[in-house]
Chain A
Amino acid sequence: MDLVINFTFFLKQDYDCLFSGTYPTLHSKLVDFQEELITLQVIEDDSKYWDALSSALAVGWLDVVVKLLRLHGSYRPDQIGIRETENGLVEAVALLITNMPRMRLELSDGKLGECYKTKPDFMKAWEKWRGQLTKLDCTPYWLQCDHQQTREGLKNMLQIMLGNASKLSDATCHWTELFISHLLYIRPFTSGLESMFGLAQKCVQIKPVTSHHKLMNLLTGILGENTEVVLAECSRSFGPWMIAHAMELLTAGSSHAEIVLHQEDSKLGGICMEELHRLAYAQVLSSHELTWQIAPVYLVTCPKQGMGMLENIFYRQPVQHKKVLLKSLEICRLYELDIIGSNLMKFAGVHDWKHGKKGSAVYWLQQAHDDVRLNKIAKQLFNFVGKSVSDDSLKQWEGLIELLSSETRTAGGLEFLNRYRDFRRHLQQVYAGVADDAAKQAAEALISLMKNSSTPKQFWLPLLYDSLKLLNWREHPLFNVSQTNLLMNKLQELSLAKLLPDYIDADLPSEALSSVRLALATNLGRAILEE
């Protein structure tokens, strides 16, 4: 019954604007009559008045009917004396309309009818009300009513309330109006959607329409409790938002719909209809820069393919724009999509590397734990610093070296670059002629570098060659016996390593090795003497 009342309300409030003049409707009929009303002298003489009354009554617009009835001429003070019986009949009908039993908890202000909360009470009241209608219909007072239009009009209204099918059909225009009049007066006890589809079909037969409004098609689907039709209509007429959200409404209270929508189907790629439509809507959202961030909200509710789709959405984001990257990473963290997040940071890192933003590139590649690329970068740096030992262009790489070695778990060997930088600084001071201390520190840095396993072999000889001045330090030997032995051992190891296939020869003068050997031997001699 609630449904019927809501439906009645809908007809009154919204549906006329939906049809927007396409079809003749009861509402447009009443609006037309309203315009004529002011020009009518004796309202009850006009057949349009009675037409309007019966039409409004047929669809349950009780307040409109009662207001119109009270405009009847017999109410005028100068008439009431001479048309007493007639006025009595009008008022009796108005009273019966006002007291029409309705099964609902309460009615909003201005709405007419007697409310009944339970079905048995309502049924009892309904029978009683119908009894009163029949009694009035058979009353002898009709014979005393001289005004023919009033007599016939009121009798017609009683027939409508008594559920005379042909009268209901005459009073209505569109099949939906006829449908609601049947629910109100012929099938007042209908609950749920019981046999409503059959009734709707019957009404469409009686009042056929040439063109089908999209909402009417949807309505037919709903009345038929046909989930597939409802979905097809939703998707055809109302787009993916409607269909993604209609799911919850469709499944509420319908186990059939629940089965239809939640059954996984191999024809849909192993997902259910609910998931399919959510994916479709998420894809629509993902196509615009302002809405793509909403797509994950829908995709996380898609157990089978949601994450796969989300992945593909992420891989289509222009992550070279930092704002997009940061937003994407935030969403990845939220949904624990670590691998995707890493890949996006990798994209950004590579882009930055190629576009001269080397610091930012290293940062993103570190965040992405992309050891392969970081190692390649480190190798490029090694090659660079290896070649330019004696010039000061190392400075331009210093920041990068700092950054590369800031994280302990970065690519192997990067730690070396840091030590190497320190060594270079001290050595430069030595060459600049600064005090004895710098030479000592440079010597310590060299030993530290040579002891450390992360120092690549390819650097050993250049390091020693650069340190010739230290090895030949005039004042006193800077390296003691064990330190010199260590350096000599490294040189020996290097000679063996030269035989290995992946050995990279340093770009040094041909006499470099012999000069270093000689310097080491001299230093050893001096150190032994000193000790």
Chain B
Amino acid sequence: MDEVIISLEKGTTCSSWNYSGHRLATASLDGTLCIFHSTHPSSSSSFTCTTKFKVHEGSIVKIVWLPPDYGDAVACICADGTLSLWEEVAEGIDNIQWKQCKVFDKTPGQVLDIQFGVSALNLKLVAAYSDGQVKVFELLDPLDLTKWQLQAEFRNVIDSVSKFGKASCVTASISWNPQRGNGQQSNFVLGFNSDIPQLNSCKVWEFDEDHQRWLPVAELATPEDKVNQVYAVAWAPNIGRPYELISVATSDGISIWHVGSNPEIDGRLWVEKVALLSGHCGEVWQMEWDMSGMTLASSADDGVRLWQSNLKGVWHEQATLEPTT
């Protein structure tokens, strides 16, 4: 039972669903952003493009929706590495428009990936740059998306004194621990696709409230695959598991990691690689978990694959969705 719910224009480069799956933002080569709405407000049956606006002169490479506690807003990363935020505002019921609310300052490095994390106190934005830098920004006023403050800046390395040359990163992938909840610590996982092995491997970063700094608390790589470039990472929702689940896609395949929920005596989290899934031909573009954290979807040139663990805890391919053309 196939049904087309949206037809995307030629030149569409990326897309992103909002939190409820009732709106889709798509972006194109010419820097235009489209917002699709489901025609019936409470269903997700068919979609029409209700708003279209120019974000940038060049191509847009990634769109990320902000969490719903901060309104209907998206962040756009453009091919030249600029990062801007746009939000939907309305004076009256009919006067809905999208306004640019922030353009982040240009830096020597281009923005490769960003992700938003909701902590108990505020909204955080992690951005990974092509020179290997990682920046964390904080929103100062929850009702005003124009005011951001740089909270931290670091590199994706375990040992902060390690020395290496100038990094050149092609892509980066960030995923926040998706769990909402009071008292939840801020943590995210990050990996690079670069020419510096130390930067590449996925690290779990956690904010140390006592010393007000970000610390790497786990590294998701075995000694053999430490050098591998990371294409995508995804932190699974945890609805009650005693451990966290994180998937990491590299040239070897997709590895599934169990990560301890609480730090051990040395402050680190225990990690265990439980599966290495192969099946995709070529680079994995993106990975996404379902809301229960039991099914992983991965996409590559050859289509989308769904992965699950069976009753014996063995991960396997559950389904394949192949591109039609």
A315 proximity list for chain B (CB < 8 A): 19, 68, 180
Query: Of A304, A318, A346, which one neighbours B20 at CB under 8 angstroms?
Result: A318
Query: Once the chains are docked, how many angstroms separate the CA of A340 from the CA of B183?
Result: 14
Query: A267 and B143 in contact (CB under 8 A), knowing A308-B240, A346-B69, A354-B72?
Result: no
Describe B's contact surface by its main secondary structure. loop
Q: Chain A nearest CB: distance from B36 CB in Å?
A: 14
Query: Once bound together, how far apart are the Cα atoms of A448 and B182, in whole Å?
Result: 40
| B-contact bits for A259-292, CB 8 A (1 contact / 0 none) | 0000001111111010000011001001001000
Q: Which A residues are in CB contact (< 8 Å) with B309?
A: 267
Q: Please pick, from A267, A286, A289, the residue contacting B313 in the complex, using a CB distance under 8 A.
A: A267
The reply to whether B291 and A350 form a contact with Cβ atoms under 8 Å apart is no
B30 to chain A, nearest CB (A): 27
Expressed in whole angstroms, the Cα–Cα distance for A520 and B69 within the complex equals 48
Contact A268 B42 (CB under 8 A): no
Instruction: Give every chain B residue within 8 A of A317 (Cβ-Cβ).
Output: 20
Quick one: closest A residue to B96, CB to CB? A355
A321–B22 Cα distance when bound, in Å, is: 11
Contact B311 A350 (CB under 8 A): no
| A70 within 8 A of partner (CB) | no
How does the 8 Å CB contact mask read for B122-152 relative to A, with 1 for contact and 0 for none?
0000000000000000000111100000000
- One of B86-94, B209-217, B227-235 contacting the partner: B86-94
Expressed in whole angstroms, the Cα–Cα distance for A318 and B182 within the complex equals 22
Pairwise interchain contact A356-B92, C-beta atoms closer than 8 A: yes
| Complex interface residues of chain A between 303 and 339 (CB less than 8 A to chain B) | 304-305, 307-309, 311-313, 315-319, 321, 323-324, 339
B48 within 8 A of A: no
Nearest Cβ on chain A to B309's Cβ, whole angstroms: 7
Residues of A with C-beta under 8 A to B21: 316
A contact residues around B41 at 8 Å (CB): 318, 321
The verdict on B10 contacting chain A, using a C-beta distance below 8 Å, is no
By a CB distance below 8 angstroms, the chain B residues around A228 are: 311
Q: Which residues from B are CB-within-8-Å of A268? A: 311, 313
**A7 beta carbon closer than 8 Å to chain B:** no
Query: In the complex the two chains form, is A318's CB within 8 Å of B42's CB?
Result: yes
Question: Which residues in B have their C-beta under 8 angstroms from that of A279?
Answer: 239, 292, 294
- A interface, by DSSP: helix, strand, loop or mixed? helix
Decide yes or no whether B242 CB sits under 8 A from chain A. yes
If A270-B241, A283-B290, A317-B20 touch, does A356 touch B93 (CB 8 Å cutoff)?
yes
Among A269, A271, A312, A380, find the residue whose CB has the most chain B CB atoms closer than 10 A.
A269
Query: In the complex, A251 Cα to B167 Cα: how many Å?
Result: 60
Within 8 A of A (CB), among B95-123: 95-96
The answer to whether the Cβ of A353 comes within 8 Å of any Cβ in the partner chain is yes
Q: B69, A316: Cβ atoms under 8 Å?
A: no
Residues of B near A354 (CB, < 8 A) are: 71-72, 87-90
CB closest chain-B residue, reference A279 = B292
In the assembled complex, the Cα of A456 lies from the Cα of B92 at a distance in Å of 31
Asked if B180 and A343 sit within 8 Å, CB to CB, the answer is yes
Residues on the B chain within 8 Å of A318, using CB:
20, 22, 41-42
Would you give the 0/1 interface string for B302-320, flagging 1 where the beta carbon is closer than 8 Å to chain A? 0000000101110000000
B143 contacts which chain A residues (CB < 8 A)? 350, 353, 373, 376-377, 380
Q: Does B51 contact A (CB under 8 A)?
A: no
Complex Cα–Cα for A373 and B73 (A): 17
- Report, as a range, how many residues of chain B touch the other chain: 35 or more
Contact B291 A305 (CB under 8 A): no
A371, chain B: closest CB distance, angstroms = 11
- Give the total of A residues in contact with B, Cβ under 8 Å: 45
Chain A residues contacting B182 (CB-CB under 8 Å) are 339
Residues of B within 8 A of A185 (CB): none
**Which residues of chain A are within 8 angstroms of B20 by Cβ–Cβ distance?**
316-319
B70: interface (CB < 8 Å): yes
Q: How far is the CA of A69 from the CA of B91 in the complex (A)?
A: 88
> Given known contacts A268-B311, A347-B69, A350-B71, is B19 in contact with A311 (CB within 8 Å)?
no
Considering only residues 157-203 of chain B, those with a C-beta below 8 Å from chain A are 180-182
Q: With A267-B313, A305-B239 in contact, do A351 and B68 touch (Cβ < 8 Å)?
A: yes
Quick check: B242 and A270 within 8 Å, CB to CB?
A: yes
Would A351 and B71 be within 8 Å (CB), given that A271-B240, A316-B19 are in contact? yes
B237 within 8 A of A: yes
Known: A353-B71, A372-B142. 19 other contacts (CB 8 A): A267-B311, A269-B240, A305-B292, A308-B239, A312-B291, A315-B180, A319-B68, A321-B42, A323-B42, A350-B69, A350-B70, A350-B142, A354-B71, A354-B88, A354-B90, A355-B96, A356-B90, A373-B143, A380-B143
Q: Across chains A and B, which 6 residue pairs bring their CB atoms closest together, nearest first? A: A308-B239, A267-B313, A305-B240, A269-B241, A318-B20, A312-B291
Where the two chains meet, the residues of B that have a C-beta atom closer than 8 Å to any C-beta of A are 19-22, 41-44, 68-72, 87-93, 95-96, 141-144, 180-182, 237-242, 290-292, 294, 309, 311-313
A binding-site residues for B, Cβ under 8 Å: 228, 265-271, 273, 279-280, 283, 286, 289, 304-305, 307-309, 311-313, 315-319, 321, 323-324, 339, 343, 346-347, 350-351, 353-356, 372-373, 376-377, 380
30 contacts across the A-B interface (CB closer than 8 A): A267-B309, A267-B313, A269-B241, A269-B294, A270-B242, A271-B240, A279-B294, A283-B292, A289-B44, A308-B238, A308-B239, A308-B240, A309-B239, A311-B239, A313-B291, A315-B19, A315-B180, A319-B20, A321-B42, A324-B42, A351-B71, A351-B72, A354-B87, A354-B88, A355-B88, A356-B93, A356-B95, A372-B142, A376-B144, A380-B143
